[in-house]
Structure 1
């Protein structure tokens, strides 16, 4: 049903966007990046959180993490991740397939500016094996999302020391 609600949403709002079904799990950022052959940052993860008494969705690059202080400053309250059952109840999507398309309940959607680090990103498409490819700008436009800066990008990998052989 969840994949079908995404299909219906895309058919109405973006018929040019195809659903990519890998036939293998794309439920985690690392699985999705491996299956799609892209960097983990290009996976657009959708976080379901509650702030004060409101549930919102935040779409961010896959390897970024939510910054609690920035989130509190932007939204005026402490964020709390929803449990799996509540996520599925409000979004209509299972964990691992949560996306901002075809939602069971209208929710405010925010795109973190970290997505703009990539020309194309890959959010899930309502199931644990499906995704779509689109630009961050198109993602925000299709979902009527507002841009926020509340995530911390990953730390750069340490550079190994250079050892010279004489």
Structure 2
């Protein structure tokens, strides 16, 4: 079955529209465990500009969101140091979904179920355009990162490896 050219609205796109941010829609065929390499390949974009949304927790099990380049990993020790925590670790998939309202592989930082602090790898803000999950698997939105992430209250950090 061919992909549609337009996705139905999600809490993420509703948030973007409510806040007045213009974005482009990019649908691709979701591949389990394909990650950002697969979406970048299918969309013909640089994986460095595909930003993954990771739901993590601190040592008190308080959730937080980390935005990272698709071709990089998060240094948990560096992140913990940057945000003043003893420890940071990824949430289990079911816990991440409970906090965000999105399934893993479809997590967006926009329109989350619960408000959570958002941290963004600082170099993401230097990109002209990013592609980030639009609230479902197989769906990215393209937008200029700085104004949207500033409105979201994302705090820049340096924690990539």
TM-score range, shorter chain: 0.7 to 0.9
Name which of 126, 130, 135 aligns with 1:126.
135
Residue ranges of structure 1 left out of the alignment (5+ in a row): 153-166
Structure 2 counterpart of 1:34: 41
Matched, 1:91 2:96: no
Specify which of 130, 143, 149 is matched with residue 140 of structure 1. 149
Q: Could you say which residue in structure 2 is the equivalent of 1:68?
A: 76
Contact 1:60–1:114 (8 Å) recurs in 2: no
Q: Do the aligned residues in 2 keep the contact of 1:52 with 1:77 (CA within 8 Å)?
A: yes
8 A Cα contact 1:60 1:111, kept in partner: yes
Q: So what's the TM-score if we normalise by structure 1? A: 0.82
Tell me if the contact between 2:55 and 2:96 (Cα under 8 Å) persists in the aligned partners: yes
Q: What TM-score, normalized to structure 2?
A: 0.84
Structure exhibiting the larger radius of gyration computed from Cα positions: 1
SS at match of 2:71: coil
Q: Deviations over 1:40-72 (max 9, x none)?
A: 111100111111222100101111111133122
Task: Provide the C-alpha distance between the structure 2 equivalents of 1:90 and 1:57, rounded to a whole number of angstroms.
Answer: 10
Number of matched pairs: 150
The 4+ residue runs of structure 1 with deviation greater than 3 A are: none
Post-superposition offset of 1:13: 0.9
Residue 117 (structure 1) shift? 5.1
- How do 1:1-166 and structure 2 match up within 5 A? 4-22=10-28, 24-25=29-30, 28-53=35-60, 54-75=62-83, 76-116=85-125, 118-152=127-161
**1:121 CA drift (Å):** 1.0
Q: Mind listing any 5+ residue stretches in structure 2 that lack a counterpart?
A: 1-7
Per-residue deviation, 1:140: 1.3
